[in-house]
Chains A and B, each alone.
Chain A
Amino acid sequence: MSSTVRMPAPDVWGVGRVLIGGQTVPWAVSQRDVDDESRAHVVSMRRLGVGVGDVVVICSLLSETIHVFPLEQAANLVGARYSSTDATEFDAFRTAAMIRQVSPTAVIGVNRDVVTGLRNLGHDLREVFEPVGAVATTDDDAHRALEHAGLAPRRWLKLGPTSGFECGERDGVHFDAARLRVGVGGDGGLTVTTTANRLTACADLPIGLRGELVSDPCPCGSDDPRVRLTQSSG
């Protein structure tokens, strides 16, 4: 169904949003930004066990596009395919259906609304998610619910305009130090600074979370630094 005609691409790829201290702020990104983010998330896909021929289901909202699109592209870069469901109570039935039908290697973006939706439909969280190799959650409620169900969820954490994932060790969210610096402000709050060339740069941006930085090598073998949250992720 593609069009054969297209206009010159605009400089701004899209305007998404970033959470700054609990407030959403419009955030413009360029094509170069999303391409670079996509390359960076190849490591994330491998961290989640996603490889050639696999499918990864991404539960998300449209407002999360600047964080989600690079994940989709990264899935393709490692030879996998992605699938989309909405991170809403209503669409939880489709998340369950997609897991059943496409047998994904990873599911990214499970939040409290998805968990509520599944419970309202009478689903057992363990039965839904147990066949999935890696499940990444976005908030504490969903994380605890999956743990309570006997699962070992990982965290997917937005770090300003980018994001990171926990590995199978589940001991802090890995981030790409070549592209981002994470700091701890005087009040103990986490801040992020973009170190790669970006259309919208930021310096010491408070992201509204408290945590600590872990620079010791992770048992997973990665040298990437990690963020270990000490306060609710929402």
Chain B
Amino acid sequence: MNDRYFERAVETMPRDQLEKLQEEKLLGDLLPWAYERSPLVRDTWERTGVTIDDIKTMDDFREKVPFIDKDAIRRFRDGSNDRYGGLLCVDPLRAGGPFTAVFSTSGTTGDPTLVPSVTSGPSILTREFWEMGCRPGEYFVEMLFTYRGPGIHQTIRGIGATPVFVDHSPFEFPNVYRLSRELRPTGWYTMSTPLILALDQMAPSMGIDPVDMFASYKGVVYAGEPLGARARALLESWGVDFFVHTGVADVGAATECREHDGCHIWEDIAFVEVLDPEGDEPVADGERGELVGTTLVDKIAPLVRYRSDDLVRVTQERCACGRTHARMWPVGRKSDEVVVDGVSVLPGDIWPAIESVPETSAALFQVIRSGRELDRLRLRVGYAREGPHGLADLRGRVVDAVEATIGVAPDVELVPNEELLRQGPPHKIPRVAKR
């Protein structure tokens, strides 16, 4: 185990074997289980006239199995009085069973949906933490932006390290600085854009030298939203080797390896498809599409062909690290997209323009999205200071920067950064607002 792989045989498994493993898990185990026990899966399939007997091959799966999405779960929940949205495949009343906790989705896109969970044992993130270089006997800062049970504690302990629990708040930095110098932790999960910007701003007054604070870390996991150029430059200036981390259609998570060339999707636990966002056809390898995920391991509340709303690029090309599992680059959310005069615009498209203006370089902005098709692009943009020539001048420079980047001149409302930060959870702000 002294190499970079935590589970070498699985992480470097030849693709034909990996795909065979997926087929065995999906067709031989997960799918019959879910079809028999999940009311949502059974109901969704019956509505389209599909039964488990129709699914004999992976091609059958791709061609015939109907999709579900978060709205379908909410509809089932509200229409059937089933609090678990028809996902639960075990008896919720059986004491001592595997179902030990009830978590929920974040509620970013509406009423949170319940996620029944098994919370024993380390997660697959052990592979990522090991790849970062963290090893037994070391300390590992756990600064997750939300508390959802002991899964991450157990994962850190799963690589033989010890978690150090701190809150995802800039006011924790003095405490983290002290702990970092005393315990010399080697891993950090997770860092976010608001924390990076806050550290840059507050470090001098807090007596913190960020380079010194991060000196012991072999890897810092970054998550929450796309990493902009300014936040990236700050991390680099502090000497941080950071690893971008993202969710995989609510059936897994993906993290960069030390090659920093895409986030690895662990395909032994998740079967992923990348489809035309407006249809059902797969896009070519590396092309932008909607991520659709199917769990291969979750028997408590399995998601089958779950349309995530996430726009991604995915390649199955072997990574330079030697791993064979697919790699993913998040692009944005399908429901965040607006079309202005026929031009598709995602928050990520605007990001570099906002960052390029010094007073708005924190890239705190929102797209005002009253619908998908818009006559005018409206942006709410946060600023740190008015600049030498006042707000009107600043607004003009932001408009010019956006137009130069995407070819669409926006209407811009300027607000202080703090106003936008107040709207978000600790690790990000809502990038789309209805008004």
Contacts and interface: CB of A to CB of B under 8 A. Distances in A.
Contacts of B124: 1-3
Given A1-B123, A62-B167, A82-B149, A7 B158 contact: yes
Given A17-B175, A26-B182, A102-B114, 6 more contacts: A6-B121, A7-B159, A14-B163, A81-B101, A82-B102, A102-B83
Interface stretch (A53-61, A122-130, A188-196): A53-61
A88 interface: yes
Contacts of B426: 88, 90
A65 B153 CA distance: 9
Given A15-B162, A60-B147, A101 B83 contact: yes
Interface residues on A, range: 35 or more
A73 to B, nearest CB: 9
Contact of B136 (A7, A52, A88): A7
Contacts of B172: 63
Interface of B: 1, 6-7, 83, 92-93, 95-96, 99-104, 106-107, 111-112, 114, 118-127, 136-137, 139, 142-144, 146-150, 153, 155, 157-168, 172, 175, 179, 182-183, 252, 269, 297-298, 424-426
A1 B183 contact: no
A4 interface: yes
Given A5-B6, A94-B112, A84 B163 contact: no
Interface of A: 1-10, 12-17, 24, 26, 52-53, 55, 60-66, 68-69, 72, 76, 79, 81-86, 88, 90-91, 93-94, 97-98, 101-102
17 contacts: A2-B118, A3-B122, A3-B127, A5-B126, A6-B126, A7-B158, A7-B159, A10-B137, A10-B162, A14-B165, A62-B167, A66-B165, A76-B100, A81-B102, A83-B102, A97-B104, A102-B102
Contacts of A101: 83, 104, 112, 114
Contact of A14 (B127, B148, B164, B424): B164
A17 B102 contact: no
Nearest to B93: A53
Nearest to B119: A72
B165 A63 contact: yes
Contacts of B127: 3
Nearest to B253: A1
A66 B147 CA distance: 13
Contact of B165 (A1, A65, A84): A65
Contact of B123 (A2, A68, A81, A83): A2
A14 B114 CA distance: 28
Contacts of B161: 10
Nearest to B182: A26
A79 B162 CA distance: 28
Contact of A26 (B83, B123, B144, B179): B179
Contacts of A5: 6-7, 126, 158
Contact of B107 (A12, A60, A94): A94
A7 B112 CA distance: 35
Given A61-B147, A62-B142, A15 B425 contact: no
B160 A7 contact: yes
B121 A98 contact: no
Contacts of A61: 147, 167
A183 to B, nearest CB: 28
Nearest to A2: B121
A10 B191 CA distance: 24
B165 A16 contact: yes
B319 to A, nearest CB: 20
A150 B204 CA distance: 47
A13 B157 contact: yes
Contacts of A84: 101, 103, 147-149
A7 B198 CA distance: 35
Contacts of A2: 118, 120-124, 297
A6 B147 contact: no
A168 to B, nearest CB: 24
A9 B164 contact: no
A102 B119 CA distance: 18
A81 B112 contact: no
A212 B124 CA distance: 48
Nearest to B251: A1
Contacts of A76: 100
A178 to B, nearest CB: 25
The 9 tightest CB contacts between A and B, nearest first, are: A7-B160, A79-B95, A2-B121, A65-B165, A15-B164, A6-B158, A3-B126, A83-B102, A12-B162
